[in-house]
Amino acid sequence: MKILVVMDVDAKQTQWLEMAAPEADFCYCPGDGSQAGKALEEADVIIGNIAPDLVKEASQLKWLQLNSAGANEYCRPGILQAGVTLTNATGAYGLALSEHMLAQTLAMMKKLYRYYDNQHQALWRDEGPVTSLYGATVVVVGFGNIGRNFGQRVKAMGAHVIGLRRRQGAVPPEADEMGDMAHFNDYLAQADIVASCLPDTPETYHLYDAVRFGAMKKGAYFVNVGRGTNVDQKALRHAVVSGHLAGAALDVTDPEPLPSSDPLWKTPGIYITPHISGGYHLQATHDYIVRIAADNLKRYLAGDPLENIVDLMTGYKA
């Protein structure tokens, strides 16, 4: 079996992979796969996010293990040949993204951004009342691994957590209530904080539009670590500038990178980070991704069902 690894791995992580498949022939070519040459053509398995338009060159491919949770680019018709299994890295990003979300939420609620700006002006000024997570209602839209991790953290700080999924389901320990998207606007109206962790799918495109932002409680905060395409950014900017929303923290935009001329950059109350909440910025995330791949290699060789198989119709973990 020939395995092409296009994600970065260190010596420790390389050992994890090779211990999982000791008889396999590994080729390491970090990047998008464009430099892999013959190794790409012969690969039975690819680990990492190869450029989608190169997948067709992997004529022997049977299984693609992504290093991302998002998989939508690989679900488009013509990307994967029939019979190729696609798995993602769901479960690897919950810690990093939830901590980023918590930091952004508290920074807005406690007006830390204003005080940071004041510091640069040597300005000693009280910025007035703040709000608390204690007793706040937090609606987490997309209650998968990332959403549950965030729910767990804000619930521990005294928030009332409502998790939303496509199908309602049982209430997990990380939430106080669960709801479904059929009653989306009703839940938005209850929220002091709306935290979005949605993938990029046709159903989620501009899910947050003027109507949805208008449905939110006046003074609410919005946090998005899902995908920039989930948000009508003009509608968001209007909701913040008008004072309807107290603030918005975005780790994702549409497009990325966000052009320097885009008015979001200079809109007071909108706080942007350049899609860095995930990635390999936290070592634990990188380790989790490789562990997922190594564990799946063991399952693959044993003929057992793989974890994190992606439904190509929805772009979600099946």
Statement: residue 175 has pLDDT above 80: yes
- DSSP assignment of 102-152 equals HHHHHHHHTTHHHHHHHHHTT----------STT-EEEEES-SHHHHHHHH
Query: Which residue's structure tokens are 């399952």?
Result: 299
pLDDT of residue 317: 86
Q: CA nearest 175: which of 159, 165, 190, 162?
A: 162
Q: Catalytic residue at 275? A: yes
Statement: residue 203 has pLDDT above 90: yes
Predicted confidence band at 318 (pLDDT cuts at 50, 70, 90)? confident
Active-site pick, 153, 212, 227, 286? 227
94-272 falls under which CATH superfamily? NAD(P)-binding Rossmann-like Domain (3.40.50.720)
pLDDT of residue 315: 84
Residue type at 35 in one-letter notation: Q
Coil, helix or strand at residue 300: helix
Residue type at 77 in one-letter notation: P
Alpha carbons 227 and 252: distance in angstroms, whole number: 6
Alpha carbons 22 and 31: distance in angstroms, whole number: 24
Coil, helix or strand at residue 60: coil
pLDDT of residue 210: 99
Alpha carbons 197 and 111: distance in angstroms, whole number: 23
Six token digits for residue 128? 């007035």
Active-site pick, 275, 291, 299, 307? 275
- For the chain, how many residues are written? 318
Active-site pick, 127, 183, 256, 281? 256
pLDDT digits (tens, 9 = 90+) for 51-107: 999 999 999 999 999 999 999 999 999 999 999 999 999 999 999 999 999 999 999
Alpha carbons 231 and 240: distance in angstroms, whole number: 13
Beta strands in 6-125 (DSSP E): 25-28, 45-47, 63-65, 85-87
As annotated, the residues of the chain forming the CATH 3.40.50.720 domain(s) are 2-91+282-317, 94-272
For 2-91+282-317, give the CATH class. alpha beta
Predicted confidence band at 40 (pLDDT cuts at 50, 70, 90)? very high
Mean pLDDT computed over 279-297: 98
DSSP 73: G
Statement: residue 156 has pLDDT above 80: yes
Statement: residue 301 has pLDDT above 90: yes
Q: Catalytic residue at 153? A: no
Query: Which residue's structure tokens are 């994190």?
Result: 308
Alpha carbons 313 and 186: distance in angstroms, whole number: 28
Q: Catalytic residue at 244? A: no
Q: CA nearest 141: which of 95, 220, 194?
A: 194
pLDDT digits (tens, 9 = 90+) for 1-39: 999 999 999 999 999 999 999 999 999 999 999 999 999
Residue type at 302 in one-letter notation: A
pTM: 0.95
Q: CA nearest 111: which of 268, 272, 277?
A: 268
Residue type at 30 in one-letter notation: P
